[in-house]
Each structure stands twice: as C-alpha cells, then as structure tokens.
C-alpha cells in the first residue's frame, strides 16, 4: 500500500470513527465521511464502492492497526507477554474508543451486517491471546480444565469491556491502574495472590 493510500485510509478511519461516536451508525453518510476526512466523495466510492464497503474495510483496517500493536508484545515468559497484550489492547482502545464501541455493539449483534468481517476480527485478535495461553497450558501453568479458546475469548471480551468502562465511567483512573486490575484477574488463573 502506498503512503498516500495509507494516509487516505487513516483519514477515513479517523473521520468515520469520529462520526460514529457523534451520531452512531444510523446517521452515517458518505458525504459526511468524505467532508470530515477532507477527501472527495468520489474517493470513498472509488476505494470502497459504498458506505458499507467503507465500514467493512475500516473494521479490517482498525484490526490491522490493533494487530500490529499486539505483534510488538512478546517475552520469553507467556505471563509477561499476556501483560503486554493487555497493555496494548488498553492503549489501542483508549486511542480509538469509538472503535471499541463499534466492536462491542457489532460483535454480538446476531446476525449483524458486518458479522463475517467481525468474526475474522475476533479470530485474528483472539488467536494472538490463544497462542500465549496455549504456551502456558503446554507448560502446565494453567489450572486443569481451562479451555484455551474460551479463555482467550473471555480475556479479549473482558479487556474490551473494561476499556470502555474505563473511558466512559472511570476516566480519572490511569491506564496503569486499569491494567493492574485486569492482570489481577488474569493472575487468578494460576492461583497467584
């Protein structure tokens, strides 16, 4: 992807999220998106075909941004990597709270308009978490009976909802305080006080 295309996608991503945050999905129009992003309406249609195509592409774009942040997490100790993943998720959702709202509202809508895209989103993100949990399971560091896929989905969902709760209801808390609260829950998996 060229630098210019990347810059245009980023502008459209930010503009769309701002408009969704202000007016919700219902009132979202291509005209408004283009105006907010400072691009011609034709640019949206040329690149995405429709508003739905734009939202679908931007969901994927947002996940790519999130996945790139998660890819930077890594440590020999899987518990430390999980801590880094939680931190990366919290920072991302603090940077893009409307993206988190969109994920929460659309992920569990049955069936939602972007269900197929969001299933891929969910799978991509939870697979990163699942890898670290599997490392712990393989080392015998998870309690018997913990189902790794379920635990990965639970951790992702928990951090997503906690991040929204933090942004909406507890904005005075620091990211480090929220991170430590989540990590206390995670540490409970291994029986560490």
Q: What is the pTM of this model?
A: 0.82
Helices 30-37, 51-71: axis angle to 10 degrees equals 50
Q: What is the pLDDT of residue 134?
A: 94
The shares of helix, strand and coil residues in the chain, as percent rounded to the nearest 5, are 75, 0, 25
pLDDT-derived band of residue 189, with 50, 70 and 90 as boundaries? low
Q: Give residue limits of the domains in the chain.
A: 1-49, 51-190
**Which whole number is the average pLDDT over 166-172?**
93
**Of residues 17, 185, 12, the one with CA closest to residue 100:** 17
**Which whole number is the average pLDDT over 182-189?**
81
Q: What is the tens place of the pLDDT at every residue in 82-104?
A: 999 999 999 999 998 888 888 88
In this structure, which topology does domain 1-49 adopt according to CATH? Arc Repressor Mutant, subunit A (1.10.10)
Residues in Cβ contact with 106 at an 8 Å cutoff, skipping those fewer than 6 apart: 59, 112, 113, 114, 115, 118
CATH 1.10.3720.10 fits 51-190, yes or no: no
**Which whole number is the average pLDDT over 136-159?**
91
Instruction: Report which DSSP code applies to 70.
Output: H
């Amino acid at each position: 992807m060229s630098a210019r295309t990347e810059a245009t996608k980023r502008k459209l991503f930010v503009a769309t999220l701002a408009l969704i945050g202000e007016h919700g999905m219902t009132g979202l129009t291509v005209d408004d998106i283009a105006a907010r992003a400072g691009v011609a309406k034709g640019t949206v249609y040329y690149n995405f075909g429709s508003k739905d195509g734009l939202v679908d592409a931007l969901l994927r774009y947002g996940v790519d941004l999130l996945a790139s942040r998660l890819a930077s997490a890594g440590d020999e100790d899987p518990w430390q990597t999980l801590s880094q993943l939680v931190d990366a998720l919290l920072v991302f959702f603090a940077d893009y709270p409307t993206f988190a709202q969109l994920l929460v509202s659309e992920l569990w809508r049955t069936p939602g308009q972007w269900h197929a895209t969001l299933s891929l989103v969910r799978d991509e993100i939870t697979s990163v978490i699942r890898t670290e949990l599997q490392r712990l399971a393989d080392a015998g560091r998870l309690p018997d009976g913990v189902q790794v896929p379920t635990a990965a989905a639970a951790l992702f969902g928990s951090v997503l909802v906690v991040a929204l709760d933090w942004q909406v209801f507890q904005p005075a808390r620091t990211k480090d305080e929220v991170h430590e609260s989540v990590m206390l829950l995670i540490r409970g998996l291994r029986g560490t006080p």
